Amino acid sequence: MANLRQKVAFVTGSSRGIGAAIAACFAEHGAKVALHGRDQTALSRVRAAIEAPDGMVMQVIGDVTKFDEVERMRREIEIGLGPIDVLVANAGGNQTNPKLALEEIPEEGFRGSIENNLIATFLTLKSVLPSMKQRKTGSIITVSSAAARRPHPASPLAYAASKAGIEFLTQHVAAQVGPFNVRINCIAPEAILTERNQHQIPEAQKASMIDAHPLKRLGTPEDIAQAALFLASESSSWISGVILDVAGGSVLVR
């Protein structure tokens, strides 16, 4: 059984969607959870929903594309909960229109996607890894996307490129930190029915997307949370450097 009892988990981008589901799952399995985002109200709602009477949940606010802010948040977590045992580098997002050809993508949009995904993941790892290596323990989960697993003209190019960078970063770091008993793996979700997607995707499009998946349904944030729980726990103690497609069977060949 996956068990995170008394482990300190830091989940970036956890004010809603996949990050919030991962934080809730970790708290349910005994972790002390540090929520992160930029929306204080949204974070407070997540905290109220997952904090058990005997549990410990805190929230930190900051920009993960700025190293000084990541460092500040890490120190706040260490004071409030203790050293970080589990890191989920989930914060990120798409900054460009998926319909644009390369030459049409604004430079600021491409740079924004790289900053919000790849650079944010790099800086979060840069802040948290030294303590894990010193203590010779830790599990890190990065978050990529099916967009990085298979080139497709409908995928936002800058987003896909930034997520592919996260996958290589994950595997390179796994080789570096393995001797310190620190594991790092990556989850690559496909279409996930977050609250936002539930409202934004038309029903006809949902039906078409469902038909494209061998399992004949779209994923939920809880599907990703269960995968993260497995990778965070000792149930996966001999797994590192893996890119795990949580995609309903839609990513079969890279």
Name the region of 240 (left: φ>0; alpha: ψ -120 to 50; beta: rest): beta
Nearest to 225 by CA among 143, 163, 130: 143
Q: What is the token pair recorded at 209?
A: 């997307």
Nearest to 226 by CA among 195, 198, 196, 187: 187
The strands making up 243-246's β-sheet, listed across from edge to edge, are 57-61, 32-37, 8-11, 86-89, 138-143, 182-189, 243-246
Q: What is the token pair recorded at 151?
A: 């080139």
Catalytic site includes residue 50: no
Catalytic pick among 115, 118, 159, 192: 159
Q: CA 106, CA 62: separation in Å to the nearest integer?
A: 26
Pairing of strands 8-11, 86-89: parallel
Q: What is the token pair recorded at 242?
A: 């893996």
Q: CA 160, CA 73: separation in Å to the nearest integer?
A: 28
Do the beta carbons of residue 18 and residue 189 sit within 8 Å? Answer: yes
- How far does Cα 211 stand from its chain's mean position? 26
Catalytic residues: 159
